A = this chain, B = another copy of it.
Amino acid sequence: MRNIKLTLQYDGTAYHGFQRQDPRPTIQAELEKALVTITGEPVRLVGAGRTDAGVHALGQVVSFKTTARIPTERWPAALNSLLPPDIVVLTAEEVALDFHARKSARRKTYRYVVANAPLPSAFLRNYAYLVRERLDLEAMQTAARFFLGRHDFAAFRATGSSVKTSERTIYRLELRRQPFEVLPWFWLAEAANPKLDQEGQDLQPTLLHFIVEADGFLYNMVRIIVGTLLEVGRGRFQPGDVGAILLSKDRARAGPTVPARGLFLERVEY
C-alpha cells in the first residue's frame, strides 16, 4: 500500500465545490473517477481544503492510498489525460502512510482577487469580484493589520458553522495592487479601451489581491475578511472598527461575504 500526495489546480466555475455531493459535479468525484480508471480499485481521497462551489485552486493538495505500482512521476500525465481540462494535476509524490492531506496541513494560503474597475471584464468574470467604487487602499492596509496573530475569529465565520474552536492564527494578510502595466492582456487594456477616462469614469482599472496565510480557516473566513476590508476601503468602516468587530465575536457586525468566484486556494504547507 502506498500513500500518494497530489498537488492540483482547478477552475471551480463548473463545480459544486471540492467535496463529493453526487450526482452533482465536484472536484473530488472527477478525481476519484479518474483514479478508479487508472488503478482499477475504488479510491477515496482526502483534500486539504473543501473549497466551495465556484472557488478555484492554484495549489490544492489531496492524498489517497493505493496498491497501484505506477511510478510516482507518471501520475500527473496519466490523470490529466482522463480529467476534464479545468482540473490539472501538477505534481505527485509518495508520502509516509500517516500523511493526511487535511489533518497534516500546518498552513494554508488563500488569495482573493478584486477587480476594481468601472466596467466588468468578459474574461475575469469568474475569477475576480468586480468593485466599481474607488477604494481607500491605505485605510484597508491599516485595517488588515488587526487580523494578524492569534484571535477568536467568531465574527468572521458563516453563522451556523460548528467547529470546536474559532481561534485561528493569521501569519500574513497582504494587500497587493497589481500595477496596470502587468495586468493580464485580456484585462481592460488601454488599447482596447481608450475612452474610459473621457466618460468621467476616472477610476484606473486595477486588480487587488488579498493574500491570507493562516494555520486554518473557518467557514467563509477569507470571504468575510475581504468583505469587511472592502467596507473599510469604501469608508463605511474605519480601520479601527476591525479590532472592535474581532472582539465582539459577532458575525452581524462584520462586512458581507464576498462572492466565491474571486477566491483561490493557493498553497498548503505541511
Contacts and interface: CB of A to CB of B under 8 A. Distances in A.
B76 A119 contact: yes
Contacts of A192: 7, 9, 58-59, 90, 266-267
A120 B193 contact: no
Interface string A84-108: 0111101101000000000000000
Contacts of A182: 181-182
B119 A186 contact: no
Interface in A170-207: 181-182, 184-186, 188-189, 191-196, 199
A120 B80 contact: yes
Contacts of A86: 122, 125
A157 interface: no
Given A125-B85, A186-B56, A209-B185, A91 B193 contact: yes
B189 A58 contact: yes
Oligomer: number of copies: 2
Interface string A112-131: 01000001111101010000
B189 A85 contact: no
A186 B58 contact: yes
Given A9-B122, A10-B122, A191 B91 contact: no
A63 B162 CA distance: 56
A64 interface: no
Contacts of A184: 184
A223 interface: no
A11 interface: yes
Interface in A229-260: none
Contacts of A191: 58-59, 109, 266-267
B85 A120 contact: yes
17 contacts: A7-B192, A9-B123, A9-B192, A11-B125, A56-B122, A59-B189, A59-B193, A76-B119, A85-B120, A85-B122, A90-B188, A90-B196, A91-B196, A184-B184, A185-B264, A191-B267, A192-B266
Given A88-B119, A189-B266, 5 more contacts: A7-B195, A85-B122, A90-B192, A113-B185, A185-B209
